[in-house]
Structure 1
Amino acid sequence: MAGGSHHHRSQIPDPGVTVVSMTDQAAASAPHPEHEGDRAFFGHPRGLMTLATTEAWERFSYYGMRAILLLYLTDTVANGGLGMDETTGAAFVSIYGTSVYLLSVVGGWLADRVIGARRSVLYGGIIIAAGHVALTVPTYAFSMLGIGMVAFGTGLLKPNVSSMVGELYSRDDPRRDPAFSIFYMGINLGSFFSPFIVGFVQRMWGYHAGFSVAAVGMAIALVFFVAGYRYLGDAGTDVPNPIRPQDRPAVVRLGLIVLGAIALATALAVVLAGGWAVETFIDAVSYLALATPVVLLTVMYRSKRVTDAERPRVLAYVPLFVSAMLFWMIFEQAATTLTQFAADRTELQLFGIELSPAFFQSINPATIIVLAPVFAWIWTRTGDRPPTAYKFVMGLTLAALSFLFLAGMSEVFAEELAPPWVLGVVYVIQTLGELCLSPVGIAATTLLAPRAFRGQAMALWFLSSAAGQAITAQTIEATEGVSDTAYFGGIGVVALVFAGLLLLLAPWVTRHIRRADEMEHTHSAGA
């Protein structure tokens, strides 16, 4: 969820929780005198408290809703669910995650070009709250409307809160890195408490009561955000790259290309499925999520604005992107296959206390809160060794091992319910992997992206999670009826093979990152 640091860059979280629209040039390019003397919040500007509490409550609502979404979709109508079969429900929740990250690209673009970060966060928050309210209405139509609104609102809000944190500080303010640490601690606190509370309310009073808790959480986030406006100064108010009259034809072209791609993906899904159904929607979004990064990387590589020195860096980024995609494919199954394993195959009694299946999703943020400072200390003490590519290898290997372990335990406990510690171990191993791979991911992305595409580097990082969850959706559909042992074991083996391939490519990738880093420092010094 949140992680350590890399070189001179701020602590950066993974896509799993919130992702930063804070490439270095967007975060803080000018001094911010209105915040220089403000040290009212642990030595930081009060605006940091506003943004940290807003994001903590937004994550509370997001992860609370996500913790029970699959259970709601797949439970019987008699129990208050929608009665989807488990395979379709799990694939649908994966595609919901994919949609959030695809829409985050749109949200970042709208903030940069049209409405600014602050209004993006406000409008996104209102849409999310309305979506949670729609989810409290017990009908299929309102449920789908609510899920869509939460995805769109999160796409508007997600990339822009963090960029506003960066705007509270000048580039050389020593409080910048600690500010992001405080910010991400707030995120993880929100993510930690919500599965407990929403899971408890859902067990006591039903799914729609659980969704209403998420609605209240988002309403509290909005109250904190609006009430704290006066502490934010100008942060998030400007539109960094507004659309000028001469840009309009290009924007219209871009809009038509996007609409054309959506239409093409939908038509392909309908033809292959022989009609329209939930599965067709899942397939259409999957095609978009898998095709978009291929197109973006190809455009980057072939663009006339990219220099001959930069082109090999784009190639060097490809194995990192694939590794991140496979990592998120495994990691984001917390809301799908691991929730199913918790509900169907895990003993939900611990020391006489009845656990909800949602409880296990609190293990990741709890582990982050404990271990993120330890990892940050380790990377600092080791001078950021090993290099980025090797940290990616470590992260993907740990994710693979978590699924291989679960495959083994699934076989051991084939005839009985697995004890709760099994899923606990899986989540802890995955979190260790996250702390290796996630904090360096955006830093590597911004370093390796060609200068002409630096603003789109964040979009590329979002797309690794979108594509990973799209692969999950397709894998779940393709392996219907396969045993848990075969499913988790197969994915674990594939991820381990890719980790081995990246290990072989790591020296080559490292050379390109070092060269890019040196050029970055030279450019900064000359600027």
Structure 2
Amino acid sequence: MSAAAPNSEPTPAHVPEFKTLLGHPKPLWMLFMTEFWERFAFYGMRWALALYIVAQFYNGDAAGEAPASKLYGAYLALVYAAALFGGYVADKVIGYQRSILLGAVIMAAGLFMIVLPNEALFKLGLATIVVGNGLFKPNISTMVGQLYRQGDERRDSGFTLFYMGINAGAMVAPIITGWLAERMFGGSPEMPAYKVVFIASGVGMLVSLVWFWFGRAQLQSVGRPAAGTEGKARVLYTLLGALVMIPVVYALLAIDASTLGWLLGALFVGLCVLILREGFKDGAVRRDMAIAMLIIFAFNVLFWCFFEQAGSSFNFLAQNIVNRDFGGWVFPVGWFQSVNSIAIITMAPIIAWLWVKMGSANPSIPRKFGLGLLFNALAFLLLMFALSSLVDPQSLKIPFWTLFAVYWIQSIGELCLSPIGLSMVTKLAPVRLVGFGMGGWFLSTAIGNNLSGIFASHVSGEGGMTVASAQSGYTFGFWALLIPGVLLFVIAPLIQKLMHGVK
């Protein structure tokens, strides 16, 4: 689950005097609920995408699992890549408030478009969601940071509360939309009515839009356009630009996932070259810090490649190979997607306490990333064991608890890695290229997401997922995580030396 990004923009020189609610600026709670409903919309439909593609466009044929996984991975990759441009638009063109409103409108339109059972319209709807999310997602968390003055000790706890809003929305969304899909429009546990999922998600996005529309007055000057950029014509130009970008994103979704990977990779390499050039200009210390950051970006790609099986191969595993029958009641596939958020909400305070309790023994940033990879590997090791030793000979299914535990173990890995990623970038990136550093982080995550779809397609194979194909694929996943995880632990002192004391 993506954490709320720490505010990478400088806090405005003037921060309004806000009324407080529960010890924090009152607008925080408005932003909390706006984000809650946006995450409800995003995660409410995410679990159903790959399953819907197979059911609707491949008539339920398991051979559709591989292309569905690739499209799902490409969609997630472009969601992250779009965040690069959304932040720039908000900062330089129309301001954060207008960017969020425009993004919400576009996202809602995309969510309702994918209800229509036409493959071309479905992909166009996904492209519309990508563009809207790019305008919305990176900017609302930036405004959370702008509610606090520099040095305000409430700032970190404010982001923590906002992060809980993200995870609360992501937790309830699959439960509600999964339940609706099995009980409305003729849906059943065997064949959910996926259009209900998309409709409910679209409604959630409209709630987010309305909530922010009426609540934004609380923000006063925070997030409004900069002086000289208040004209509404800029909003119109941005909308036209977004409309132009939608077919571009559609074209990127339509190309082969491998080709998209090469395009994202080329963009990433270009960013890395710019960052290294700037680092070399700033002297040996900044050069070393830039190199350390780029090394960690490479390991970040690996983590998300295998973590993001949640919406693709793990869904097909849950649907076909996990025993979800509890005495006549079948556990909905989509509900597995809530385990991550439950684990994050439950385990985050414990892990935060553990880091503090360890004091000087607290792992370095590279070793925390290594722990993220190793916990991810442990989840795949459990799948290897389940698929080799726990398969019921009659039903050819593995026990329910195994997949539940896999999500939980992966979430611990996420907590070791994800919360420190963007904070690390702000400390290690060359001073004049922090924005490009953020771009590198998002692009490395996007590349990992695209690779996740390609990997999931291999797990399913040409004829759909079987116990044998899943065991083979997840065995590869285990070794592909274990070896780099151990390597990162070994070279962590070298990377830490390059970081020159950054913790």
2:454 counterpart residue number: 474
User: In structure 1, the residue corresponding to 2:309 is in which secondary structure?
Assistant: helix
1:187 counterpart residue number: 166
Mapped to 2, the partners of 1:163 and 1:427 lie a distance apart of 29
Mapped to 2, the partners of 1:74 and 1:150 lie a distance apart of 20
Q: By how many angstroms is 1:399 displaced?
A: 0.6
Partners of 2:289 and 2:500 within 8 A in 1: no
Q: TM-score, normalised by structure 2?
A: 0.87
Q: By how many angstroms is 1:84 displaced?
A: 7.2
Partners of 2:66 and 2:458 within 8 A in 1: no
Q: Which moved more, 1:282-291 or 1:219-228?
A: 282-291
Of the three residues 131, 151, 154, the one matched with 2:110 is: 131
In structure 2, what residue type is equivalent to 1:124? Answer: G
Alpha-carbon distance change, 486 to 450 in structure 1, aligned in 2, over 3 angstroms: same
1:97-108 superposed matches below 5 A: 97-108=76-87
Partners of 2:6 and 2:423 within 8 A in 1: no
Partners of 1:350 and 1:420 within 8 A in 2: no
Q: By how many angstroms is 1:158 displaced?
A: 1.0
1:20 counterpart residue number: 5
Of the three residues 295, 313, 323, the one matched with 1:347 is: 323
Mapped to 1, the partners of 2:23 and 2:179 lie a distance apart of 37
Q: By how many angstroms is 1:487 displaced?
A: 0.4
Q: Please tell me the root mean square deviation across aligned C-alpha atoms, in Å.
A: 2.5
Q: Is 1:460 the counterpart of 2:440 in the alignment?
A: yes
Alpha-carbon distance change, 163 to 351 in structure 1, aligned in 2, over 3 angstroms: farther
Alpha-carbon distance change, 412 to 52 in structure 1, aligned in 2, over 3 angstroms: same
Partners of 2:6 and 2:145 within 8 A in 1: no
Mapped to 1, the partners of 2:61 and 2:94 lie a distance apart of 37
User: In structure 1, the residue corresponding to 2:48 is in which secondary structure?
Assistant: helix
Alpha-carbon distance change, 109 to 78 in structure 1, aligned in 2, over 3 angstroms: closer
User: In structure 1, the residue corresponding to 2:102 is in which secondary structure?
Assistant: helix
Partners of 1:105 and 1:155 within 8 A in 2: yes
In structure 2, what residue type is equivalent to 1:323? Answer: F
Partners of 2:77 and 2:446 within 8 A in 1: yes
Q: Is 1:490 the counterpart of 2:476 in the alignment?
A: yes
User: In structure 1, the residue corresponding to 2:499 is in which secondary structure?
Assistant: helix
Mapped to 2, the partners of 1:76 and 1:32 lie a distance apart of 51
1:273-352 superposed matches below 5 A: 278=254, 280-303=255-278, 305-350=281-326, 352=328
Q: TM-score, normalised by structure 1?
A: 0.83
Q: Which runs of 5+ in 2 are unaligned?
A: 186-192, 230-240, 463-467
1:53-452 superposed matches below 5 A: 53-76=33-56, 85-204=64-183, 205=185, 206-239=193-226, 278=254, 280-303=255-278, 305-350=281-326, 352-383=328-359, 385-414=362-391, 415=393, 416-452=396-432
Of the three residues 488, 492, 496, the one matched with 1:502 is: 488
Q: Which runs of 5+ in 1 are unaligned?
A: 2-16, 243-254, 270-276, 518-527
Alpha-carbon distance change, 406 to 237 in structure 1, aligned in 2, over 3 angstroms: same
Q: Which moved more, 1:202-211 or 1:66-75?
A: 202-211
Partners of 1:72 and 1:207 within 8 A in 2: yes
Alpha-carbon distance change, 133 to 82 in structure 1, aligned in 2, over 3 angstroms: farther
Q: List per-residue Cα deviations over 1:202-261 (Å, max 9, x = no partner).
A: 22231111110001100111111111111111111134998xxxxxxxxxxxx9xxx9xx
Q: By how many angstroms is 1:192 displaced?
A: 0.4
Mapped to 1, the partners of 2:224 and 2:383 lie a distance apart of 47
Alpha-carbon distance change, 27 to 192 in structure 1, aligned in 2, over 3 angstroms: farther
Mapped to 1, the partners of 2:83 and 2:447 lie a distance apart of 13
Mapped to 2, the partners of 1:359 and 1:149 lie a distance apart of 26
**Residues matched between the structures, number:** 467
User: In structure 2, the residue corresponding to 1:137 is in which secondary structure?
Assistant: coil
Q: By how many angstroms is 1:351 displaced?
A: 5.8
Partners of 1:164 and 1:235 within 8 A in 2: yes
Mapped to 2, the partners of 1:491 and 1:54 lie a distance apart of 36
Partners of 1:111 and 1:239 within 8 A in 2: no
Q: List per-residue Cα deviations over 1:333-384 (Å, max 9, x = no partner).
A: 1011111111111112236532111110000001111111111222223347
Mapped to 1, the partners of 2:149 and 2:326 lie a distance apart of 49
Mapped to 2, the partners of 1:120 and 1:84 lie a distance apart of 40
Mapped to 2, the partners of 1:515 and 1:377 lie a distance apart of 22
